[in-house]
Every structure is written in structure tokens, then in C-alpha cells.
Homo-oligomer: A and B are copies of this chain.
């Protein structure tokens, strides 16, 4: 079945319309979207896109370094178009995920490596607390 025209064939190994739509969905989302949210957004632009393609595209984009995958707890993965190293803060009340950057991470990595005896590659730092909005709402 199938084959109405939009689907199928692709250029060799690069930015297909689907991948572009997925990338745009990540870039244009203010928050850090989940695969599901990306799917919905991409579908508005490319109604025939499938869930599997969203996942394939995210995998491709992540490996290509255009997008970064973030995890916290057992919740669904979220995606971030800011690919440089940075830190996260999660709100315990509304669940918002914010980016920030700590200047002292190089020393931090060295200290952590010394203590753990691991050969360091990267460090993940997440602050858990109340976001500014939730602090205000009481």
C-alpha cells in the first residue's frame, strides 16, 4: 500500500525535508520539546510524517551534532538546538527545564575526575529547584 508521493526516496545521506522539519521543530520550540511534541509540530508542516521518521531524524540530527538530547529522570527525552556544553535546571513544581552555563566546569571536571578516578569526557550538571515563576506564584 501507500506511496502517494511525499514519502519515500531521499538524497544520499543528508538533510531531507523530514529531517529539516524535525530540526525546525526543535529550533522553533521555546521550551525543550519531547519527541512527541516534535512529532506534532513537524506534522503541521509535513502532514504525512511518521513517528518512526521523527525518531530516525532525531537520531541523525543528534549524531550530526545539530541537536542535543537531554534526559532527566525517567521522563521522555527532550531535545535542544543549543548544542554547546551547558547545564540544566529543572523546576520541581512545573517541570520547566532551563539552560544555563557555569563558568567553572573545567575545574569541576578535573575535581570529579580526581575523586572518581575516571578519565573524564564530559560532565552533566542539573540543578533541581523552583523556577523564578514558581517562586513568584508562592
Contacts and interface: CB of A to CB of B under 8 A. Distances in A.
Nearest to A88: B116
Q: Is the interface of A mostly helix, strand, loop or mixed?
A: mixed
Interface string A97-116: 01011101000110111011
Interface in A80-138: 87, 89, 91-92, 98, 100-102, 104, 108-109, 111-113, 115-132, 135
B98 A125 contact: no
Given A71-B72, A71-B74, A125-B126, 11 more contacts: A89-B116, A100-B115, A101-B115, A108-B108, A113-B129, A118-B127, A119-B135, A123-B128, A124-B124, A124-B127, A125-B125
Interface of A: 71-74, 77, 87, 89, 91-92, 98, 100-102, 104, 108-109, 111-113, 115-132, 135
